[in-house]
Amino acid sequence: MNADLTIRLGGAELPNPVVTAAGCAGAGRELARFFDISSIGAVTTKSVMLEPHAGRPAPRMAETPSGMLSTVGMQGPGIDVFLQRDLPWLLSRGGRAIVSIAGTGMGEFGELARRVSEAAGVSAIEVNLSCPDPAHPGGRYFVDDPASAAAVVSTVRSHARSDVPVLAKLAADVPDVVELATACVEARADGLSMINTVRGMAIDTRTLRPAVAGGVGGLSGPAIRPLAVGCVYRVHEALPDVPIVGMGGVRTGADVVEFMAAGASAVAVGTTNFSDPSACARVLRQFTEELEARGIGRARDLVGAAHGAGVGA
């Protein structure tokens, strides 16, 4: 049986639901030595900012139980280099691009949305809402407040080309993820990506100092998967017609099945790429085998199955 793997994210159609998570594959170049990047649904790029950024000082990563703590910062060459070098390279290899953008304020988000959506070949824009909100100093991010997050999404949507879907990337460590998701959808997000890393900390017991520079970092990997699946489930239950890219600790094809049953239309592979750079191709193969073993002819029929919809009804 050859299952139909195609899925839709707003107005974008992808050949299969397996994509990369932002920050875990650059713009695809790092993984292209290990598998054909055109074979997966899309590459979600590392968050792009207007100007070049050096990121945070080392150490930037630390291993934790069933996960990884990271505090890389928004390191990157800026939008000019991305549009002139990275995006054309990805498209030349047949890859599909979901471009993650990050800004320090509404003006930057708007300009990034305009420039990215004007570039040919962009499948969608993912809005990284886990950026410091300059209107609320003291460590608060846009994602921490539904109104602030909605304002960013509205700005991006109004500056982006109408046929380029806008995905709002949500965090789990907020008071109410459903309220946050609803605010972003009401601000005209075409879809949601969830979840981003969870803020956490590790102490090096040899030095008795934080394991990563700055102390607090983003926790990713299998440790957060149940949290991520729960968030996807709750948001899909509240907003069943809104496409979701689920992510958080995905390592196998069975993990993709789990996220899609919870309500995700596509599923991103992130942290496991660092230890297994061919993980996306392997996860896609395993997912296809999972469908065949279950006799499921269309991947999209899995979406929401845990809610009593689709193949799980």
Question: Phi and psi (nearest 5°) for 251?
Answer: -130, -20
Among this protein's residues, is 280 annotated catalytic? no
Q: Taking Cα atoms as reference points, which of 301, 281, 299, 283 lies closest to residue 2?
A: 299
CA distance 308 to 224: 24
Q: Taking Cα atoms as reference points, which of 273, 274, 263, 244 lies closest to residue 304?
A: 263
Q: How far is CA 14 from CA 17, 123, 172, 237, 307, in A?
A: 7, 9, 26, 23, 24
Q: Taking Cα atoms as reference points, which of 94, 102, 11 lies closest to residue 48?
A: 102
Q: Residue 6 contacts by C-beta under 8 Å, 6 or more apart in sequence?
A: 13, 14, 15, 16, 299, 300
Catalytic residue among 24, 131, 184, 231: 131
The set of catalytic residues is 131
